[in-house]
Amino acid sequence: MISLVRTALIYMIVGVGSGLFYREFTKLNDFAEGEATQLGLVHTHLLTLGFLMFLIVLVLEKTFTLSQSPKLFTAFQWLYNAGLVLTAGMLTWHGSLTVLGEQSNSMIAGLAGLGHMLLTAGMIVFFVALMKAVRVAQNERAAELQR
């Protein structure tokens, strides 16, 4: 469980830092306030999909012991984290290019798409692990009630 707390903490720090970066980088480059850039999305992605998600996973781990399926739980963590880091990285790269007035390329879009696919795969594996853990908990509770 401590790894989940550490993961949430890291996403919180990086998420808040990305908001600071967005604000200062756009000011430094005289980027018009309110003008659209993907750089502003990094902050919310990291805080919501990283910080809050891993706090929720922590509660579910405490409640249902998701890690009782270690292969599924480890696969979820690797897929989900890789997807979120890749997605946030591409948002940062694309957004920074926009602020600098430079063109993006299709490689950035392709890598961002890959990041989203990894996030989706991670979520699917997470729900498989969650369903398995909930079933185990239900069976244990039914066995207790029969005693």
Taking alpha carbons only, the member of 52, 147, 45, 132 closest to residue 95 is: 45
User: Cα(70)–Cα(53) distance, rounded to whole angstroms?
Assistant: 19
Q: Residue 50: enclosing H or E segment and its boundaries?
A: none
Q: Which residues of the chain have pLDDT under 50?
A: none
- pTM for this predicted structure: 0.91
Write the pLDDT tens digit of every residue in 73-98: 999 999 999 999 999 999 999 999 99
Range of the domain at 121: 2-146
In the chain, the number of structural domains is: 1
